[in-house]
Structure 1
Amino acid sequence: MRRLVRHGLAGVGAATFAVVAGVTALGAPATTTLAEPANSLAPQSVIAPLVPADPAVEAQRAASAQRENRDAERTRITDAATLAATERANDLGDQGKAITKKSDQIKAARAKAKAEAKARAAAAEKKRKAAIKAQGYEAGVTDPREMAQQILQNKFGYGSDQFSCFDWIIKHESGWNVHATNASSGAYGLPQSLPGSKMASVASDWRDNPATQIIWGAQYMKSRYGSPCGAKSHWESAGNY
């Protein structure tokens, strides 16, 4: 009985020692872990199994890529069109400037030509008026009788009496017809010059200009008969002058 008690106490002591040893081991500092034996194999990496592609996802990716390509192509086309439009606008701008410059040059040339033509016309009119004034009548007078009255007064110093004689002769010779022509003799014009080309001594327009014919007739009457009235007296006695 006493032996059993000793054995029991010994067992209890051993157990108690084991517990204390375990507790002590828990509170003790960590010890270095020994390396694994050389023949230990490292764990192998796990290869994930292949998952089949989802057709819907692939379709979405393809559609997205197509959209991106279309957008990129649109952008490229838009940029190219913008560049072309800019270049075209620049070309048109240069052409417009050239056209404007040429138009201005044409306008300037036309204005110059118009001014020169106007100046020439003014000079010609001035010359014409000077020639008319030299013939002794005012510009604008077209009636031969009125023209003759002014010419006889301004160029020869004759009054109304001499004009009356001159008027009487011309009425009898040509009836104041500038283009009157004698069918038998060929005498021509207001004073019935024979030949009519004699009146070219006054001016080359003797065929149509009444002033030229009047001046020639008045000169002829003065040089041959002293005056228009002297020519009238001869005409009345001889039937001509």
Structure 2
Amino acid sequence: MRRLVRHGLAGLAATTFAAVAAVTTLGADATPTAAPPPVAPAATGDFVPVQFVPADPVADAQRAATAERDSREAERTRIAAATAQAAYQRALGLATQGQAIDQQSSRIKAEIKAAKAKAEAAEAAAEAAEKKARDAAIANQGYTPGTTDVREIARQILANKFSYGEDQYACFSWIITRESNWNVHAENPSGAYGLPQSLPGSKMASVGPDWRDNPATQIIWGAQYMKSRYGSPCDAKSHWESAGNY
């Protein structure tokens, strides 16, 4: 750092010498030139162009990044991570200052180290909060948020909410295929509706008010019905094979 300061002083001296030489040269005799004509001031109301200042895409991206979390807990943790990251960047900025380097270097290094550790801890906490929110969603609705395949939703719900394995899922799938061919809006003239062909369809409102369109609501109701009436999806399948319905 001292070497950089010495080089900076030498550069400042050279710049000063050049400025003095330029002033001396300007003081010598020179051929007179005509002064340019004065520029008339713009009249009131004339258009005066204003320099365009481009947006800062980096700042915009940083602000947008904080809006991507789904839950309040994850959002609060991400804000803490962003605050810690800002402190870390501030500490790095302090390290570039050239004033009182010898006195400030130890403090700056300690601040950088502490800020970096805090940012890493906050980032880890944010990841943990996201996982907790995801696990809570799975426990609540039975399947991973974002899953769109109806059969996969059913497989996860049967495993997470009913502790059924692939054998019970296979029996459940066998019944649903024959009842509605996995059509959430399948409707029978008798009034049966949805994946499990609940009769009437409004019975599924006991699980959720979105029973007409939500496959998860229909799957949960169907699995509960099979379990309460027959004992399991495979027992319901056995009855369906002998009676033609369940």
Larger radius of gyration: 1
TM-score by length of 2: 0.47
